[in-house]
Chain A
Amino acid sequence: MSMQFYAPPEQVMKDRADYARKNIARGRPLVAVTYEDGILLAAENLSRSLHKVSEIYDRIAFAGVGRYNEFDQLRVAGVRHADTKGYAYSREDVDARSLANSYAQFMGQVFTHELKPLEVEILVAELGVEPENDQLYHILYDGTVVDEERFTVLGGDAEEIASRMEQAFQDRWRLEEAVPAVVGALSGPDRSLEPAALEIAVLARSNGRRAFGRIGDGRLAEMLGDRPMATDGDDPHPPTDGVPTSDGDEVA
């Protein structure tokens, strides 16, 4: 018969939180910030195909840092949640708040009941019809939800990056202003980030029904200014990149 040792709940929770925090802090950071036409999501990511930022629904995007398999599972669950809801009710009834709550419940449940907490921090961003309705829900490994209206930082060095963002942030700035500032905040004063090391996407009001779109290396290099063009322009046929569609985006 195995001996069950007593461990005080405070200690158990603290150990789990430390474990999750340590592993999340090791991951590369991600910043989400509002700008005049929507929400900008920028992550340090060397991979071209394993995305940290992706589309959930017409006006909702998902971002995750930490363990890829864990946040990708959450991403797919979010797409399923949103598509099922939109199909059962209507596209307008799909909102980020209820999705963020579902995520928070699940992550809180895992944190208290499972052997190991999820080693992820995620973000659910929703584009409002008006800029003042833009929402950023930042959900921590233990299910804590923080909602932000200007910007939020996930992953390693979050505090330093947040203080740099605090200085750089301007209300209703243009995308061309926000991108270099956010990339600067991510990299810090001592190094610079190349377009190939970044994953940048937007939820833009001007994109039509599917507001999500990725910004390719070519356009990113242009926005970052003085850097040499890393590739020969944007990918002409991005797979899921909600490229602005005129009126071909209607639904029955």
Chain B
Amino acid sequence: MSLPLFATDSDPGPSFVDLLRTQGRAGPGSGSGGSSASAAGEIRHGTTIVALRYADGVIMAGDRRATEGHTIAHRRIDKVFAADRFSGVAIAGAAGPALEMVRLFQTQLEHYEKVEGATLSLEGKANQLSQMLRANLGMAMQGLAVLPLFAGWDELRRQGRIFTYDITGGRYEEADLHATGSGGRDARSAIKMGFREAMSRRDAVELAIAGLWEAADEDSATGGPDVVRGIYPSVATITAEGFDRLAEQEVAERFDDLIRAKGRRA
């Protein structure tokens, strides 16, 4: 591999996506996408993801199930990722293109940071993801839609912020909370009912978990806690300290509490 050097008029700058383009390669969304939406039933889909604000920042969580049509394709897929030190991205939709988009997004943010010697603002990161989704529109129209949630700690405003997207790359900032994916509606209403301003970390984790529980209760494509195999949803916090994934043990304990509380009511 020779050194990627460019003349000043064709330099891709700090963008990794543009760099790939100069090499005749491109990220997700560049494929022609096959014939029609008929593939949608056979490809893997990630399901429910949630994000909500709390006192110290943002919590993101996602269940662990991937489906192919009506079958469970995978039981321990991870849908919540660190995008960089102060932001995270969670994915719903076609799992293949979504995971690839996350990898490109992570590389893009780190590449910018290294080339420029400065990190992008949270808005800048959110807009980058928006552009990647727009590039994927062709594939989305053929049934391979990716719907991410983006959240992070805004170092300028000193607060957590949540962004949602549609398949066209439309970017919308949410005030307090959001959930997408097949169980997103149920998760969202559960979280909306329990949401309070400036919750503690523990309350916020419990609320996120309760949201995922309700989604798994109503939606066949969303996985609940798998006590038999010891698989629990992934939960992460993003605060002024950065992205931090909760230990599975802690998530398991919160679910045990939830299950006990539900059991008493029944």
Chain A residues packing against B (C-beta within 8 Å): 49, 51, 54-56, 73-74, 76-81, 83-88, 98, 102-103, 105-106, 237, 239-240, 243, 245-252
- Asked if A246 meets B2 with Cβ closer than 8 Å, knowing A84-B23, A252-B99, A252-B103, the reply is no
For the complex, give the distance between the alpha carbons of A54 and B85 in Å: 18
Interface string of B100-120 (1 = CB under 8 A from A): 001110110011011101110
Listed by A's residue number, 13 A-B pairs whose Cβ atoms lie within 8 Å are A74-B3, A77-B5, A87-B107, A102-B3, A243-B85, A245-B85, A245-B243, A248-B85, A248-B245, A251-B103, A252-B81, A252-B99, A252-B103
For the complex, give the distance between the alpha carbons of A49 and B16 in Å: 23
For the complex, give the distance between the alpha carbons of A86 and B16 in Å: 12
* Interface assignment of B244: CB less than 8 Å from any CB of chain A: yes
Complex: chain B residue closest to A85, CB-CB: B1
Q: Tell me which of A84, A240, A245 contacts B4 (CB under 8 A).
A: A84
Q: How many residues of B contact A (CB 8 A)?
A: 33
Complex: chain A residue closest to B81, CB-CB: A252
- Asked if A83 meets B244 with Cβ closer than 8 Å, knowing A77-B4, A105-B2, A248-B82, the reply is no
CB neighbours of A252 from chain B (8 A): 81, 99, 102-103, 106
For the complex, give the distance between the alpha carbons of A74 and B4 in Å: 9
- Asked if A239 meets B117 with Cβ closer than 8 Å, knowing A80-B19, A86-B107, A248-B242, the reply is yes
B107 and A83 within 8 A (CB): yes
* Interface assignment of B256: CB less than 8 Å from any CB of chain A: no
B23 and A56 within 8 A (CB): no
Q: Tell me which of B25, B107, B118, B243 contacts A240 (CB under 8 A).
A: B118
A73 and B5 within 8 A (CB): yes
For the complex, give the distance between the alpha carbons of A56 and B118 in Å: 14
Which 9 pairs show the lowest CB-CB distances between chains A and B? A248-B243, A80-B4, A252-B102, A77-B3, A239-B118, A252-B103, A248-B82, A79-B114, A102-B3
For the complex, give the distance between the alpha carbons of A243 and B85 in Å: 9
For the complex, give the distance between the alpha carbons of A226 and B66 in Å: 60
* Interface assignment of B55: CB less than 8 Å from any CB of chain A: no
User: What secondary structure prevails in chain B residues at the interface with A?
Assistant: mixed
CB neighbours of A79 from chain B (8 A): 111, 114-115
For the complex, give the distance between the alpha carbons of A88 and B23 in Å: 12
A240 and B19 within 8 A (CB): no
Give residues 69-111 of B contacting A (CB, 8 Å).
81-82, 85, 99, 102-104, 106-107, 110-111
Interface string of B111-140 (1 = CB under 8 A from A): 101110111000000000000000000000
Q: With contacts A51-B117, A81-B1 known, what are 15 further pairs, Cβ within 8 A?
A: A54-B117, A76-B115, A77-B4, A79-B111, A79-B114, A79-B115, A80-B111, A88-B25, A98-B1, A102-B3, A239-B119, A245-B243, A248-B82, A250-B81, A252-B99
For the complex, give the distance between the alpha carbons of A100 and B1 in Å: 11
User: Least Cβ distance of A79 to chain B in Å?
Assistant: 5
User: Least Cβ distance of B205 to chain A in Å?
Assistant: 16
CB neighbours of B25 from chain A (8 A): 88
* Interface assignment of B257: CB less than 8 Å from any CB of chain A: no
CB neighbours of A247 from chain B (8 A): 244-245
For the complex, give the distance between the alpha carbons of A78 and B2 in Å: 10
B16 and A83 within 8 A (CB): yes
A81 and B82 within 8 A (CB): no
For the complex, give the distance between the alpha carbons of A243 and B23 in Å: 32
Interface string of B227-247 (1 = CB under 8 A from A): 000000000100000111100
User: Least Cβ distance of B239 to chain A in Å?
Assistant: 10
CB neighbours of A84 from chain B (8 A): 1, 4, 19-20, 23
